[in-house]
A and B are shown apart, each in its own frame.
Chain A
């Protein structure tokens, strides 16, 4: 039983980084494909399509920071907390990454026809980023109360 708890604790530590990386990969792939499609159809402004397709890469960075914050000696006392915070922070980053990728793809699709709305079309992606930042910040805040383990 103790071993399972410890394993869950380690899963919790690594989850935000791994699941965040999955979210960023999928999001960047979706937005990146949209960028390539838009470049086929437009005569210029390629840089901003590529820049926009890299937008969802921030989630893996949030995941890395959460992972380092959670990283400590895993004990039966703190394993549950590490698992819960790590896994749910990771899931939040995963879905934020996928949906931000779709929002960026829509922005690229709209802006290729009407370049003047490029800035405004980023609003949905920025709002999704805001929700991911909530998940990130509060994961850090809550993790401050997790016992360090090893009696320290």
Chain B
């Protein structure tokens, strides 16, 4: 039957996600999605996990440096043989590289040194060379860069989040027409699920919870310091 029809039943059995910013919840729970994904061939399941690991912030330990992350991505990319998936990952990480550059510049950091591994993709060196240009002379490739720079400077994090999620949604959607019932279609569905999930989790309660998690992870062994002091003072 060929790979183009490898997952017809799986894809038709999945509810279509709503338009990104209209969705109130993901089209199905992660538990249910994982149950459906059990039909994936072992190799495909492994590739999907690898792609999700690279692209999901939550799977990245706080202690990981940029260089370590880039090294892990390079290692993972060598094991992903699927051209479409490689493109999806590369494009997504290039968006992140641009945003990282904007944030670094906004913090007042200077042009990175040529040996400093701070980003991933084709534009890292180009961005470094054009560090002082508003959009790093990448207007033709990333027309959204000026808007992202403006939003970062204005501190409008919600609008920034919308812009980024819209970009990654479009990045994934670009490949939908070529892949209807194959493995790539399954990965695209899962990545879209992740994006919708991130958007609907844009909830103050959950954000506070995540912030607590991150600060606890950042504090590490000092996490109980204040509790201990309070106990002593009592």
Contact = CB atoms under 8 A, between A and B. Distances in A.
Interface in B1-47: 1, 4-5, 8-16
Contacts of B5: 30, 33, 101-102, 105
B12 A112 contact: yes
B69 interface: no
Nearest to B16: A113
Given A105-B181, A106-B180, A30 B8 contact: yes
A33 B14 contact: no
Interface in A52-82: none
Q: Max chain A CB contacts within 10 Å: which of B13, B14, B16?
A: B13
Nearest to B28: A41
Interface in A18-47: 26, 29-30, 33-38, 40-41
B190 to A, nearest CB: 16
Contacts of B9: 33-34, 36-37
A88 B77 CA distance: 44
Given A26-B1, A29-B1, A106-B180, A34 B14 contact: no
A135 interface: no
B15 A41 contact: yes
Contacts, number: 50
A108 B1 contact: no
A121 interface: no
Q: DSSP majority for the A interface?
A: helix
A31 B14 CA distance: 16
A143 interface: no
A101 to B, nearest CB: 8
Contacts of B8: 30, 33-34, 37, 105
A111 B180 CA distance: 15
Contacts of A37: 8-14
Contacts of B1: 26, 29-30
A30 B15 CA distance: 19
A95 to B, nearest CB: 13
B12 A105 contact: yes
Contact of B13 (A29, A30, A38): A38
Contacts of A29: 1
Q: Which 9 A-B pairs have the closest CB atoms?
A: A37-B12, A37-B13, A37-B9, A33-B9, A33-B8, A40-B13, A34-B12, A109-B12, A113-B16
Given A34-B181, A37-B11, A113-B15, 18 more contacts: A30-B5, A30-B8, A30-B181, A33-B12, A34-B8, A36-B13, A37-B8, A37-B9, A37-B10, A37-B12, A37-B14, A38-B12, A38-B13, A101-B5, A102-B4, A108-B12, A109-B11, A109-B12
Interface of B: 1, 4-5, 8-16, 180-181
